[in-house]
Structure 1
Amino acid sequence: RCSQGVHVPFTFEELVAFCGILLIFWIVGKCVERLGLPALVGEILAGIAVGPHGLDIAPKPDALMMVGEFGLVLMVLEAGVEVDLASLSLVGARGVQVAFFGSLV
């Protein structure tokens, strides 16, 4: 939306809806954690449920795609930081080859 030459990407209502969706993701993640699964599983399932292939209630899908891609980058970085080098040395070169070619596919 454009107001006197200033671009406003979200209206207040859309921002509140976006925050509500994030809260839903967090709550579903916590519930799934109580079942013994990673919170990320619940958050992904909640994202599918409210996204265009589910209920389609997410505001501004293009803006959410950008936020989702940023979240994916952060998740990959976090996974890389949590790699245990000692356990990586146990699998050796074969494990590195499988991981490398798996990421190419």
Structure 2
Amino acid sequence: MDTSTAILHVATILIAARIMGEVVARFGIPSVIGEIVAGIILGPSMFGLIEAEGLIWVLAEIGIILLLFQIGLETDLSKLVKSGTKSVVVAITGFIVPFVTCFALSYYWFGLDQIVSLLIAGTMTATSIGITMRTLSDLGRGQSREGRIILGAAVLDDIMGVLLL
């Protein structure tokens, strides 16, 4: 991809994501949903105007790192610790239910190998802490009691998922 095409793609992505984010926000929907919809519309699923390759992957990785860093900056550990027990219960439930369900379906229903079923089940336990916290933030609930419980649960859930895989 030449430089001018790359710049055009990045500009198109930023403008489309911003516009769609603003449009859905006017309906009380978190802007992150509009940004995802913009990607679906511009990507190979619909119009195929933007390919997820090279520069786009690098920028996406940088964006994810910055989003997660921002979540860290906005996280008050003392408040997060106070939601401990509830976060643990939510995390364990959010880990075990999809894990057991996916393993059972993969292994018993579809007859897949035990290792493959474990891998599928493990991948289904992963959360998207970035999207979750961005959505809560857009809704003005990021620092609420519920937001702290969800953040704590998502962190624990991700740790369990990484340890499993």
TM-score (norm 2): 0.49
Report what 2:43 is aligned to.
51
Determine if contact 1:30/1:39 at 8 Å carries over to the other structure: yes
Structure 1, unaligned runs of 5 or more: 1-8
Q: Which region of structure 1 is more displaced relative to structure 2, 66-75 or 15-24?
A: 15-24
Relative contact order (C-alpha < 8 Å, sep 6+): which is higher? 2
Equivalents in 2 of 1:42, 1:77: separation in Å? 22
> 1:47-68: CA deviations, max 9, x gaps?
1221233321115622111111
Equivalents in 1 of 2:81, 2:18: separation in Å? 35
> 1:3-47: CA deviations, max 9, x gaps?
xxxxxx633244224312211111111111111122112111211
* Identity %, equivalent residues: 29
Equivalents in 2 of 1:101, 1:22: separation in Å? 32
CA 1:18–1:89 in 2, change beyond 3 Å: closer, same or farther? Answer: closer
Could you tell me which amino acid in structure 2 is paired with residue 83 of structure 1? T
Aligned-pair Cα RMSD in Å: 2.5
Report what 1:89 is aligned to.
81
Please show how residues 1-105 of structure 1 align to structure 2 within 5 Å: 10-58=2-50, 61-93=53-85, 95=87, 98=91, 99=153, 100-103=155-158, 104-105=160-161
Q: How many pairs are equivalent?
A: 97
CA 1:47–1:60 in 2, change beyond 3 Å: closer, same or farther? Answer: closer
Q: Normalized per residue, which structure has more helix? A: 2
Structure 2, unaligned runs of 5 or more: 92-152
